[in-house]
Amino acid sequence: MSIRRLPVYLLLDTSGSMRGEPIQALKVGVQTLISTLRQDPHALESVHVSIITYDAKPVVICPLTSLEDFQMPLIECPQSGPTMTGAALEILCRCVDKEVQRTTEDHKGDWRPIAFLITDGSPSDTALYERMIEQVQKRPFASVIACAAGGRAKVEPLQKLTQHVFNLETMDGHSFAGLFQWVSSTVSSGNRSMGAASSIALPPPPPEIQIVV
Amino acid sequence: MRSLVASVAKTLEEMHAQQRAHGDIEATLKHCLNESKDALDGENFKARALPTDELPVDALQDDVQTFVACTIKIIRGETSEVNASFQANLHRGGDWPEGFLTLLEEASTQEVSISDLSQALDSNSNCAKSAEETASDTATTTPPAEQIETETPPKPLTSSQPVVKVALRNATVGKPYEVEPGAIATAIATQRGDRPEYARVSHLQLPDNCGLVFDEMTGRVAGTPTHPFDGVLSLDYVPSRSAQSIPYNVSLLINPDPASLWKDLPSPTNAPYPKEPFDHSEETQGPFRVVAASRRGRSHANRGEFRDDDFAIGYASDTGWLVIAVADGAGSATYSRAGSKIASAAAKQRLVTVLNSRQHNKAEILYSQHQDWEHPEIRVSLCRILYEAALKAHYELQSEVSNPSDPLPTAATLRNYDTTLIVLVLKKINEGCVAATFAIGDGGAGLLPNPEEGFPITRPEGGDYAGQTCFLTMPEPLKDNQANLERHFHFTVQKEFCAALAMTDGITDPKFPSDAAFADPAQWSALWTELHPALSSSETLLEWMNFFSPGNHDDRTLVAVLPAHATSAPNS
């Protein structure tokens, strides 16, 4: 019997401005997320993680992998260049269409996927980004959560994507650890029954994360 | 240029540490740039400051910002006030560390310390080197990326060794594990550029008593891990037959066994609508024996949440109808534990009252007229009776919202009481039975005329994705039209009767892994074979319901209806 998976897609901004401490802190944050989830038995059995990085070009650096088998991929930042958030969402939609299993006669469907997008800037490919917002909203996400990290991140484009937009003022290890601890509690509450159309109720975020209304 | 900026940055850092003033940074930098080549250093810069001046602490950040802004101009070539010979030289030594400009741009909008900047300048090569030297240097210090299985934190290797990063495939406690013979040596050899066929690993230091064994002859790692582990293992790598061994590290992760991580936390003591984690009952009602149990799921126990399932059993003794209700409160709804309790109790109460009344039990009236349980009008009348019981349960939840039976901290909404509801009514006729169900949401019920075959008497009602279902609290499943009633109602007349089972999805999900399995008579028979010995008492049923099934840890509720004469002995 195959286990119903809870797919979690992490979209990480790796544009040039993330070089140095921010990207290191982000990597440590992802590690924190993974090891926290590994302590949750329900998550360890059901959570599958995929990592998509995006700078001038989006790349699926880790295809959907069970928490059990997950190994941290190499995450690198180019020197500089645009932030192709729209292209990243395009890849996200393609992955979800291909990977997330619906209920069929012979299979129980996966849990509805969760996507986390982290950026320290704003989309460079605005036209594609606008188009992809519509596409993301057509996908069966239980939740799409966007995080604007650092002072230069633009909140407005993210608000068009999802109602769950958070602001992380600084991009240091402490802030990212807090963010990903919270992400893990959000993921942990993703595998429970809910109405067909409702989205998951998010746990309260830690103080260093500000809810953008 | 880089050497100048690095040197100035360092000097600034030192002077800031001593809280010494150094005059106007911009003017000093410009002056330095316009001086002869020899003068382009921090010493020149330092020399301009008066040794006795003290710098106010709050000026430090302003200084850094000025320095940053100047340096950005220099790198971009926007400095107009420098002389022509300098302009020509401006980009020749463009050996800025990767991303330094971006870092500066970052620094111009937020607080940054000068030591961050000077560290960045010192980061990947000596700042005094020429551009050519720097380029060739970079090529040799960057490890080839393509062979790296995963990234581990940098290990203190001696500087003469190339950085080799090898991670073993993850293991899990209790699951057989193997790394194929020679695989580790091959991975290291490929990264180093050695010939894999001669390379071997002569020693691998596995954690003590971890359950895994390294075979030095073949280089195979095998076994079943006994303890979780996350760390680095040291090994001796021998690149070729005659070569000496070289120490290396590989990383290994052994996941804990998920089954060992479950916590059994008590439910809150001061929350509204408290509910015991377990409930069970056993009763004989007319020709039926009913064994029921409900237990809090591991996923709820792990978070110290309440059991959200509930059940209710009733018997219309004047007419011989047994009434069963099972309900599964939604994990995502705050008071669903109350929703399931109120709904199952209300539906049961209503059905017992209606079915027990010779005046209102239309099915009995119709039977006395037609003497045939399969008469279509009987089916229609039972559908109406059951539908109205579900409707009654829905209204009961609505009145709970407006008038809570337990004081609530804030006003609740109907969706706070989200719950599924399955009602099953049964009447014994000769050796067989009449059975009808009305079901909203997941979980399900089935009937076994004999131990060898069974079939569902509810329709599976999962959504496209896991955890999606409909609830009694939603308007759609209660719409009073033919198509909707048919979707939720089921009726059957059987000549034999062995058992009827009503279950929440905590049982149906693990026991019927797909809709096809739920419809398969053999699967029902298999469940019966497994379940039957556990029905000797409701305690043994409760114990059986603790079975382990990966991914299935919801609350579990099962109500089994058997003929009263049935014994608990396994079927013959």
Q: What is the ipTM of this complex?
A: 0.85
B146 occurs within a structural domain: no
Contacts of B471 in chain A (CB under 8 A): 195
For residues B168 and B252, the answer to whether their CB atoms sit within 8 Å is yes
Which own/partner contact pairs does B134-141 have at CB distance under 8 Å and 24+ positions apart?
A: B134/B95
Asked if A111 and B101 come within 8 Å (Cβ–Cβ), the reply is no
What CATH number is given to the structural domain containing B458?
3.60.40.10
Note whether B238 and B314 are same-domain residues. no
> What residue segments make up the domains of chain A, in order of their start?
6-136+174-194
Q: Is the same domain home to B132 and B235?
A: no
B472 compared with A198, residue with greater pLDDT: B472
Long-range contacts of the stretch A26-32 (C-beta < 8 A, 24+): A26/A75, A26/A118, A26/A171, A26/A176, A27/A72, A27/A75, A28/A173, A28/A176, A28/A177, A29/A173, A29/A176, A29/A177, A29/A179, A29/A180, A30/A72, A30/A180, A31/A72, A32/A176, A32/A177, A32/A180, A32/A181, A32/A184
CA–CA distance, B426 with B27 (Å, rounded to integer): 96
Q: pLDDT grade, residue A40 (50/70/90)?
A: confident
Within-domain flag for B408: yes
Separation CA B48–CA B39 (nearest Å): 12
Q: Do B514 and A105 touch (CB under 8 A)?
A: yes
Q: Across the interface, do A103 and B515 touch by the CB < 8 Å criterion?
A: yes
3-state secondary structure of B466: strand
Which of A69, A111, A192 is nearest residue B332 as measured by Cβ atoms?
A192
Same domain, B305 and B416: yes
Tell me the average pLDDT across A152-165. Answer: 91
d(CA A203, CA B441): 26
In a domain, B342, yes or no: yes
pLDDT of residue B153: 39
How far CA B261 is from CA of B228, B302, B303, B508, B545, in Å, comes to 11, 9, 12, 24, 19
Inter-chain CB proximity A198 and B332 less than 8 Å? yes
Q: How far is CA B390 from the centre of its chain?
A: 34
Tell me which of B108, B332, B417 to substitute to probe the interface with A (most A C-beta atoms closer than 10 Å): B332
| Number of compact structural domains in chain B | 3
**pLDDT given at position A196:** 46
Question: What's the pTM value of the predicted model, to 2 decimals?
Answer: 0.73
Statement to judge: residues B451 and B542 lie in one domain: yes
Region A6-136+174-194: CATH code: 3.40.50.410
CB contact under 8 A, B418 and A195: yes
Task: Please report, rounded to a whole number, the percentage of residues in chain A having pLDDT higher than 70.
Answer: 87
Neighboring chain A residues of B225 at a CB cutoff of 8 Å? none
Residues of A in Cβ contact (< 8 Å) with B262? 41
Q: Is the pLDDT of residue A111 over 70?
A: yes
Show Cβ contacts of residue A78 under 8 Å, excluding neighbours closer than 6 positions: A14, A15, A16, A55, A56
Question: Distance, in angstroms, between B244 CA and closest chain A CA?
Answer: 31
Residues B482 and B549 in one domain: yes
Inspect the interface and report whether the beta carbons of B330 and A140 lie closer than 8 Å.
Answer: no
Which pLDDT value is given to residue B40?
A: 43
DSSP bridge partners of B489: B438
Owning domain of residue B206: 166-260
Q: Is residue B511 part of a domain?
A: yes
The pLDDT tens digits along chain B (572 residues) read 566 666 667 776 776 666 665 555 665 566 555 554 444 455 555 555 444 445 554 455 566 666 777 677 666 655 554 444 444 444 434 455 556 666 666 666 665 566 666 666 665 433 333 333 333 333 333 333 333 343 343 333 333 444 567 899 999 999 999 999 999 999 999 888 889 988 999 999 999 889 999 999 999 999 999 999 999 999 999 998 888 899 999 999 999 999 899 999 999 999 999 999 999 999 999 999 999 999 999 989 988 999 999 999 999 999 999 999 999 998 888 999 999 999 999 999 999 999 999 999 999 999 999 999 999 999 999 999 999 999 999 999 999 999 999 999 999 999 999 999 999 999 999 999 999 999 999 999 999 999 999 999 999 877 788 878 889 999 989 999 999 999 999 999 999 999 999 999 999 999 998 999 999 999 999 999 999 999 999 999 999 999 999 889 999 999 999 999 765 444 43
B161 lies in some domain? no
Position A175 scores a pLDDT of: 76
Q: Which of A111, A150, A152 sits opposite B465 (nearest CB)?
A: A111
Beta carbon pairs, A and B, within 8 Å: 164
Q: Which of A92-101, A139-148, B64-73, B220-229 has the lowest mean pLDDT?
A: B64-73
| B153: phi then psi, degrees, rounded to nearest 5 | -55, 145
pLDDT at position B357 is 94
Instruction: Tell me the Ramachandran region of residue B495: left when phi exceeds 0, alpha when psi lies from -120 to 50, beta otherwise.
Output: alpha
Q: How far is A12 from chain B (nearest CA, A)?
A: 17
- Say if B335 falls within a structural domain: yes
Tell me if B464 and A74 make a contact (CB, 8 A cut-off). no
Count other Cβ atoms within 10 Å, centred on residue A107. Answer: 16
Question: Is there a single domain that holds both residue B378 and residue B431?
Answer: yes
In Å, how far are A39, A75, A197 from A36, measured between CA atoms? 5, 20, 29
Q: Is residue B570 part of a domain?
A: no
pLDDT at A152: 86
Q: At what angle do helices B376-402 and B362-370 cross, to 10 degrees?
A: 170
Domain check: are B441 and B533 in the same one? yes
B304 and B442 in a single domain? The answer is yes
Residues B180 and B253 both lie in one domain: yes
| Shortest Cα distance, chain B CAs vs residue A97, angstroms | 13
Confidence at residue A211, expressed as pLDDT on a 0 to 100 scale = 65
